[in-house]
Amino acid sequence: MTEKRCGRRLIVYEIRNVLGNPFIYMFGIVFPVLMFFLIIKTVQADVPESAISQANTAVFITMTLMIPMAVVLLGYSSNYSQELEKEIPLRMKLFGYPEKSVLLAKIIAQFVVMAAGLVIYTAVAYASVEMETPRVSSALCLILCLFLLSGIYFALAHGVATIFKKFGAAYVVMMTVFFGSMILCGMMGIKVDQLPTFAQKMAALLPMSYISSDFIDFWTEGSYNFAPLIQSFLFTGAVSGIVLLIAVRREYRKITSV
């Protein structure tokens, strides 16, 4: 049978598959918007009126981090773990879709849905409260970071789902990572510098902590030292890569031992 490539029909199928997951709507759209409005209400009571727009913008930037976490980290891991339970990847191979084509379609679908969620969240936020307008370079930097995070999350979610092959186990691990990252990276209303010392050291390893605390400083003007952010991306990417490599090696051993 001739192998089928990653085409429009396969990508549309994967997008529909992503949108069929209720976690996407709950944690990828509703939760960030809800947390945004809850936190700005608290923040506005503690800042002068002249600084409200900057405070709102800082909360907006922080809450954008939830979207790739929800869509890719939670959404993809739950979807793919259920597919593995039902042996859907094997069925796709029988229908002529090689693993690389399906994987590429999944990556594109995740990025498309994540981008759509980001657009919806941004439109709601900017239409509802007063916020600062970013420089084009600052906005592009944030978007690039979100897509880089999505790629890292995809590798981690794919690896965890492949290792466990069970929705329940994968869900527990990813939900722990999800809420743990939210707490460490200032997405629960507590700033990174307000955390205990050991927690701050853990947060320094994650790029989300730099995005949530530092990006507001150059949102409209100024410069930024990207070295710590890049180092944290390398660390997080390395961890996700190791998890994915372990999953791939385990699968390869199973295949070769048969």
pLDDT tens digits along 97-156: 888 899 999 999 999 999 999 999 999 999 999 999 999 999 999 999 999 999 999 999
Q: Is residue 98 part of a domain?
A: yes
Q: Is residue 112 part of a domain?
A: yes
| The model's pTM | 0.92
Q: Is residue 251 part of a domain?
A: yes
Mean pLDDT of 55-76: 92
Q: Which amino acid is at 144?
A: L
Q: According to the model, what pLDDT value does residue 217 have?
A: 86
Q: Is residue 3 part of a domain?
A: no
Q: How far apart are CA 193 and CA 179, in angstroms?
A: 18
Instruction: Give the position of tokens 């100024």.
Output: 222
Q: According to the model, what pLDDT value does residue 159 have?
A: 95
* More confident site: 246 or 42: 246
**CB distance 21 to 73 below 8 Å:** no
pLDDT at 161 over 90: yes
Q: Is residue 152 part of a domain?
A: yes
Residue 103's Cβ-side half-sphere holds a number of Cα atoms within 13 Å equal to: 11
How many independent structural domains does the chain possess?
1
Q: According to the model, what pLDDT value does residue 2 have?
A: 67
Q: How far apart are CA 36 and CA 155, in angstroms?
A: 28
Mean pLDDT of 58-83: 92
pLDDT at 255 over 80: no
DSSP state of 86: T
Domain range for 53 is 8-257
> What's the pLDDT band for 257 if we cut at 50, 70, 90?
low
Q: Is residue 1 part of a domain?
A: no
Q: According to the model, what pLDDT value does residue 144 have?
A: 95
